Chains A and B, each alone.
Chain A
Amino acid sequence: KAGVTQTPRYLIKTRGQQVTLSCSPISGHRSVSWYQQTPGQGLQFLFEYFSETQRNKGNFPGRFSGRQFSNSRSEMNVSTLELGDSALYLCASSTATQTLGDTQYFGPGTRLTVL
């Protein structure tokens, strides 16, 4: 099976712009989670989607949003970019069901740089 793919791999934006990142999960995985990773904060949970519904959300401002499509592919959007949004954004898919979480399989990440 193909692994989790993320596009684009690298992105450079300026403050105030918005950005959309894409994630294709492993075939058959219905749960997709997004994380932000920075050297100072480590891996921070953004949100998790299952069957097009957001089931949990981390402590991030409303500028961070996401969605999941019927084919389980997911996108996350960051509006009004700030310098502090520069990070590696990781997507992970899993076989998590309605009631039980499971192992996460991560994509290679999108490296976002905000200038």
Chain B
Amino acid sequence: SQKIEQNSEALNIQEGKTATLTCNYTNYSPAYLQWYRQDPGRGPVFLLLIRENEKEKRKERLKVTFDTTLKQSLFHITASQPADSATYLCALGGTGGFKTIFGAGTRLFVKA
């Protein structure tokens, strides 16, 4: 069955450092992969989308890589800030299926 794995343990980093979150998937050939941010008690907020034919995408302090051979995506937040503390969700989508599959998320804590 389709499966998405994200670091189940929380990630603790110091302010100013780069946070790197991992998303691995199996039994799926997504047309695109997305990253969302979710704060406690709120709905997820879209951050970045990367398509299967793209290797890397950047947006301000965010960078996403997508390796369809390894079936892995890496999500980087550079110069992290305490305000970046949240849960980050990886999601896969494909054409024709109209079904987005979400990972369980990784909780990030950025210490001042």
Contacts and interface: CB of A to CB of B under 8 A. Distances in A.
Interface string B92-105: 01111111111111
A72 B102 CA distance: 23
Contact of B43 (A45, A50, A90): A90
Interface of B: 31-32, 34, 36, 41-46, 49, 89, 91, 93-105
A75 interface: no
Contacts of B34: 103-104
A42 B105 contact: yes
Interface of A: 4, 31, 33, 35, 41-43, 45, 48, 50, 55-56, 58, 88, 90, 92, 96, 99-109, 111
B43 A106 contact: yes
A99 B42 contact: no
B94 A101 contact: yes
Contacts, number: 65
Chain B facing A: main interface SS: loop
Contact of B46 (A100, A103, A111): A103
B43 A107 contact: yes
B100 A45 contact: yes
6 contacts: A43-B89, A43-B102, A43-B105, A100-B31, A100-B95, A106-B44
A109 to B, nearest CB: 5
Contacts of B46: 103-105
Given A41-B104, A56-B98, A100-B31, 17 more contacts: A43-B89, A43-B102, A45-B100, A48-B98, A56-B97, A56-B99, A88-B41, A92-B43, A99-B96, A101-B31, A101-B97, A102-B93, A104-B34, A104-B36, A104-B100, A108-B42, A109-B41
Given A42-B104, A42-B105, A109 B43 contact: yes
